[in-house]
Copies of this chain bind each other. A is one copy, B any other.
Amino acid sequence: MEKEITIYDIAKLLNLSPATVSRALNDHPAINSNTKSVIAAKAKEMGYRSNTFASNLRRQRTDTIGVIVPRLNSHFMSTVLAGMEKVVNKSSYNLIISQSLESVKKEIANAKTMFNSRVDGLLVSVAYDTDNTDHFDAFVKRGIPLLFFDRVLEHKQGTSIIIDNTKAGYEAVSHLIEQGCRRILYITGNLKRNVYADRLKGYRLALLEHGLPYLDELVMVTDLSQEAGIEAARLIQRMDKKPDGLFIANDLCAVSCMSALRKNGFSIPDDIAVVGFNNDPVSVVIEPNLTTIDYPGEKMGEIAAQSLINHLNGSLDIQNTNTIILHSELLIRQSSVKKGAN
């Protein structure tokens, strides 16, 4: 690769002092505008890359916001990012995105890359196995605002943006009980993560309130992939006492489980009623259409990005706002409505 062009190279070619070149590139008032134009043109021609430290010395900004997500391959995450883009583009920021692929090791590498890219702020939804926030300490130490969304961790500095997962889980499971279900299987992701643990709380609360027992055997921890949905259908097939209701913590997994169950001869919702989570577009492609929780992904993205930008602009201190909770909604469709129920 070529050697990096420096202000010394530009200065030499133009027969100017490095200080003049540096000041001109930083739009210093002491340099006249003709000189600035000449220097800027030469810098561009030579492929000079502004050293972020130098060129942003006055305002210390790169106009870049970093986002770290567990995975990009979900409709939910697409809608979150769409909401973020909407807000940051309006404010002339640019997003750079990286995925942890559910691994804390890669999340640490991503955090380092984002730090060295000198992002002005960081938005994070944590990986499957993230235990602590140590790898974000460098940001806090440098005063770079940090905001968690959806999958959040306890941390002293910064805001978390979530939905009320306990309430959503409670509503999903209460609905299934009202449809006559008595053995409801909860298919979940890692219970370390707030989103899945809180939905479990909601599941337990709904059972408790309706006088149904909580059974460990009716909680199945998976990675919520399509393959996990097929595997869950296989396990259900083998169960002695089969469930009559499923609450599955994402739609992709729910849809593949439903398809597999139907192939195995189960009738949905009559044999087994199903409720998913997220309101992915696929939930209205599957027959019968899937009852699900409408997750306000775009809104979550917008509010996360706007909170960060407001902090950067000095109009909100996210250190003083702990948690923002957004509304979600149970959408009842055919996959869970049993004939004659209610």
Contacts and interface: CB of A to CB of B under 8 A. Distances in A.
Q: Taking the full assembly, how many copies of this chain does it contain?
A: 2
A116 B72 contact: no
Nearest to A73: B78
A51 B51 contact: yes
Contacts of A85: 99, 101
Given A73-B75, A113-B64, A117-B96, A2 B142 contact: yes
B94 A95 contact: no
Interface stretch (A202-210, A233-241, A281-289): A281-289
Contacts of A94: 98, 109-110, 113
18 contacts: A1-B143, A44-B138, A50-B116, A51-B53, A62-B113, A72-B78, A72-B97, A73-B78, A85-B101, A94-B109, A94-B110, A96-B113, A96-B114, A96-B117, A252-B281, A259-B284, A282-B285, A285-B285
Interface string A30-44: 000000000000001
A4 B286 contact: no
A267 interface: no
Contacts of A44: 138
Interface string A42-62: 001001011111000100101
Interface in A57-71: 57, 60, 62, 64
Sorted nearest first, the 6 A-B pairs with minimum C-beta distance are: A73-B78, A47-B141, A117-B117, A2-B143, A97-B97, A96-B96
Contacts of A57: 4
A192 B99 CA distance: 31
Contacts of A285: 255, 259, 282, 285-286
Contacts of A116: 49-50, 52, 62
Contacts of A62: 113, 116
A325 to B, nearest CB: 25
A1 B144 contact: yes
A75 B77 CA distance: 12
Given A2-B143, A44-B138, A72-B78, 20 more contacts: A1-B60, A1-B143, A2-B142, A4-B57, A49-B118, A51-B53, A64-B113, A89-B101, A94-B109, A94-B110, A94-B113, A95-B98, A96-B98, A96-B114, A97-B98, A97-B99, A117-B117, A226-B281, A252-B281, A282-B285
